[in-house]
Amino acid sequence: MKHLYLILSVFIFLNVLSGCVDDPDMDTKLQNAKAPEVSETENIKVTASSIEVRASIIKENGSPIVECGICWSEDKDTDPKDNLRNNRKVKAEKTENGVFTATISNLDDETNYYVYAYAINKTDTAYSATVMNYKTINGVGEVKIMEPDSIHATSVFLCGKITSRGEGTIKKVGFYLSDEEGNRELSDKDSTILYNVPGVDINKIDSFTWHVTDLKPETKYYVRAFAENDFGEFAFNIDSFITLDGKPKVGAIKVDSTNYTSAFLSAILESEGDAEVTSYGFCWSTSDKPEIGQAGTDTIVSVEMTDGKFIGTIHDLENSKKYFARAYVTNKFGTTYSESTNFSTLNKTPNILTSPIDKALILKGSAVVGGELQNGGETEAVEWGIYWSTDKKDLKQHKEVATDSLFTFTLSKLKGATTHYVYAYAKNQSGWTGYGDTLSFTTPDIFTNKNVYSSPRGFSAAFTMDNQAYIVGGDMGNKQTDELLSYVPERNEWVTLSPYKEGAFSDMTACTDANNQIFVIGGTDKQNAVTFFSSYNIDGNSWTSLPAVDNGRFDAISFAYKDSIYFIGGQDYRGSSDEISIFDKTNNEWKTSSAKFPVAQRKGLAVVVNDSVYAGLGEANQRGFWLATDTLTHWDSIDIPANIGVVTSGAYNEQRNSIFMIDDNSKIWEFKLENQEWIGHSVLKNSMKNYHIFILDGTIYILAQHIYNPNQFVTYDPDWDN
């Protein structure tokens, strides 16, 4: 019993002791708190030197946020904890509804920065799960040089335009200038011109202009505008200009009159140049292009100028002698001269000049010539003009009489590749005749050789498309060919294309339609006429077989008319044919016309002009040329020259409204549609008997073919074939 009381006493004592100790204050929330959660950053604004972003506190996780913000590094793989340890952070000043913003400043431009959001509570620090990359923009601006203005011998106005200021303050603007040849990297190593105008704030202007002086005349300069802001210097394009020579400019000299010992001259000052004129007058000599100080040259100085005109009189000249004179004007930059003129002192015979021949006016079968009657000699001139000839031994073949003292004539229908001689003449009342210098000029060639393919062939089919010439097939003597060749005028070369799908044949016929489709029909394998009919696609360089013609023939003619392809004449096993076969493109089928061609013929030509078809001149018992329209069932006969031969090719020349063709005598013929006139032109030097005519971009090309001899390819200019 005593033991029981003892145990109870001890228990009560301990209980009393424990009741005497105070319990500590405990925050039950912290017992379960953990690190907060923060979102990734979101771009608000990026400049050249700063990045402003926002982020959000997703969860406090049981403990209030004591600090939040952003931290960064230039290295993508940097641990965000290192950013905080190295104080690469910005604290957010406030948070509203869990959202905070922060701005990183004093950054480098055009630099990548890797940014985390962070948040700290009483338990731990948290970072955004994803690092975000922001790149600061280029801090420099852009300035470009404008076209230099008011260029003179020693000065120029330069203008720069600031198209973008960049970021920060503009510190200076100006120009770099260099006369170093080929300098394309202008910098402060070259002449530097700073724009500095008192009272002008360069941060408030968009353009700046500077008058540059002390330049060198006739010198090429390179110039570049530049500017500099807080982030550095910036510039853009480089321009160039050439300073003027600064010299004055004088107009044409004029011989106002002459007598037996004197000449009266005048000229016009067109510009003083870049300095005051110090001297002006005339110099003369018996040699062309006299200059001051030149041996044999004399000078007179004019002392009076009115409205830019100055005059001078040359005395003590020899009677009946030719002189040359030029006006001159001088300033500090130098002396300039007018073109040289010539004159002759009076004589019994008239004084007349033959005008220089301008090569630019020798074109389209004509040339402009002329002269100037200066005086009639001892009496008045009663007749003057020019003589011209193509025979140096007979210079008076042709005469043109003038009515004005300064005169020109247009000589027309001239022959190409021919030298012409021209000189002026004048007769006076006393019966004396004076002459100018005899001048000559040579007209352009009628024919010009062009490149041709290397392997000879004859009897190819030919066509044109998109200003290129094409030939397909042909006879090469020991074999026939399936080659398709194209001539490209811009490169003067022949190109090999996809060969004819049906095989190697000659004496085929080809035509094109308004839809740029090419059709090849018939031909021979040297044994028999073939019936093949194919089309060629230029864009795809490919052939397509079409329904064969019912009756195969070779040496036929073909053309596209409306929605059909016509295949006329030619030769088959029976001989020459007058058959007209028509391919209906809509129904994709051939039919034989009930109408016949006026004669049975092989070879010949067919040319379509608008709604008219001109065809014929092939080998036939009664060779002829016919015109048909509309249904092409009626052919009207056209008169032909008695001496025209068999024709194998023709082409329409829109400029002259004519059809050009060549016969088997190598003679070129022109048939004028307007009045149905025939004009016989040149005969080619070769004797091929197998020709093709193409018209490419207005120029006539002639291809002469032969089975064994080298083929020839030329351009032909009918304007000079007179």
- Distance CA(696)–CA(364), nearest Å, equals 18
Quick one: pLDDT band at residue 10, thresholds 50, 70, 90? very low
Rounded to an integer, the average pLDDT of 33-45 is 94
What pLDDT was estimated at residue 296? 86
What pLDDT was estimated at residue 347? 83
Q: What is the pLDDT of residues 536-567, one digit of tens each?
A: 999 999 999 999 999 999 999 999 999 999 99
Phi, psi of 16 (to 5 degrees): -65, -40
Rounded to an integer, the average pLDDT of 620-647 is 95
Alpha carbons within 13 angstroms on the beta-carbon side of residue 592 total 10
Domain positions in the chain are 32-135, 142-242, 258-344, 351-442, 448-720
Rounded to an integer, the average pLDDT of 299-313 is 90
Q: What is the pLDDT of residues 450-470, one digit of tens each?
A: 999 999 999 999 999 999 999
What pLDDT was estimated at residue 568? 98
- Distance CA(277)–CA(316), nearest Å, equals 28
- CA–CA distances in Å: residue 409 to residues 281, 354, 459, 593: 34, 12, 47, 57
Please name the fold of domain 258-344. Immunoglobulin-like (2.60.40)
Contact 72, 87 (CB under 8 A): no
DSSP secondary structure of 313-366: EE-SPPTT-EEEEEEEEEETTEEEEPPPEEEE---SSPEEEEPPP-GGG-BTTB
Report which of 597, 614, 721, 604 is spatially closest to residue 663, judged by C-alpha positions: 604
Q: In 10 A of CB 563, how many CB atoms?
A: 13
What pLDDT was estimated at residue 6? 37
Whether residue 8 has pLDDT greater than 70:
no
Apex CA 593: angle with CA 587 and CA 598, to 5°? 145
Q: What is the pLDDT of residues 51-79, one digit of tens each?
A: 999 999 999 999 999 999 999 999 999 99
Task: Output the six-digit token pair for 483.
Answer: 């080659």
Quick one: pLDDT band at residue 31, thresholds 50, 70, 90? low
Report which of 629, 640, 697 is spatially closest to residue 670, judged by C-alpha positions: 640
- Average pLDDT score over the chain: 92
Burial 492-517 (b: 16+ CB within 10 A, else e): eebeebeebbbebbbbbbbbbbeeeb
> How many residues can be counted in the chain?
722
Proportion of the chain above pLDDT 90, given as a percent:
84
Task: Output the six-digit token pair for 416.
Answer: 């190409």
Q: Which CATH architecture has domain 142-242?
A: Sandwich (2.60)
- CA–CA distances in Å: residue 89 to residues 101, 355, 505, 510: 13, 90, 87, 83
What pLDDT was estimated at residue 5? 38
> Among 207-211, 240-244, 301-305, 630-634, where is mean pLDDT lowest?
301-305
Rounded to an integer, the average pLDDT of 632-652 is 96
Rg over alpha carbons for the chain, rounded to the nearest Å, is 48
Task: Output the six-digit token pair for 265.
Answer: 């001259």
Rounded to an integer, the average pLDDT of 199-216 is 93
Contact 336, 328 (CB under 8 A): yes
Rounded to an integer, the average pLDDT of 87-107 is 95
Phi, psi of 374 (to 5 degrees): -90, -40
Residue 515: which residues within 8 A CB-CB, separation 6 or more? none
Quick one: pLDDT band at residue 18, thresholds 50, 70, 90? very low
Rounded to an integer, the average pLDDT of 241-269 is 94
Kindly state the helix (H) or strand (E) to which residue 3 belongs, with its residue range. Answer: helix 2-18
CATH number for region 32-135: 2.60.40.10
What pLDDT was estimated at residue 185? 74
Q: Match domain 351-442 to its CATH number in 2.60.40.10, 3.30.590.20, 2.60.120.560, 1.10.10.10.
A: 2.60.40.10
- Distance CA(184)–CA(176), nearest Å, equals 11
Proportion of the chain above pLDDT 70, given as a percent:
95
- Distance CA(420)–CA(386), nearest Å, equals 13
pTM (2 decimals)? 0.57
In 230-318, beta strands by DSSP E: 232-235, 239-242, 249-250, 254-258, 263-271, 279-285, 298-301, 305-306, 309-314
CA dihedral 75, 80, 86, 88 (to 10 degrees): 70
> Among 7-11, 358-362, 448-452, 670-674, where is mean pLDDT lowest?
7-11
> Among 342-351, 419-428, 598-607, 712-721, where is mean pLDDT lowest?
342-351
- Distance CA(306)–CA(477), nearest Å, equals 82
Where does residue 3 fall: left (phi above 0), alpha (psi -120 to 50 degrees), or beta otherwise? alpha
What pLDDT was estimated at residue 689? 83
Tell me if the domain spanning 448-720 has CATH number 2.120.10.80: yes
What pLDDT was estimated at residue 184? 66
Whether residue 603 has pLDDT greater than 70:
yes
Phi, psi of 10 (to 5 degrees): -65, -45
Q: What is the pLDDT of residues 363-387, one digit of tens each?
A: 999 999 999 999 998 899 999 999 9
In 2-122, beta strands by DSSP E: 37-38, 42-46, 51-59, 65-73, 89-91, 95-96, 99-104, 112-121
Residues facing residue 484 across a β-bridge? 472, 497
What pLDDT was estimated at residue 578? 97
- Distance CA(403)–CA(407), nearest Å, equals 8
Q: In 10 A of CB 76, how many CB atoms?
A: 10
Rounded to an integer, the average pLDDT of 11-35 is 51
Kindly state the helix (H) or strand (E) to which residue 2 belongs, with its residue range. Answer: helix 2-18
- Distance CA(477)–CA(489), nearest Å, equals 28
Using DSSP, state whether 638 is helix, strand or coil: strand
Q: In 10 A of CB 358, how many CB atoms?
A: 13
Would you say the C-alpha torsion 544, 550, 554, 557 has a positive or negative sign? Answer: negative
- Distance CA(483)–CA(430), nearest Å, equals 76
Say yes or no: do domains 32-135 and 448-720 share a fold. Answer: no
Task: Output the six-digit token pair for 383.
Answer: 């007749």
Apex CA 466: angle with CA 464 and CA 471, to 5°? 30
Contact 634, 628 (CB under 8 A): yes
Tell me which amino acid residue 469 is. Answer: A
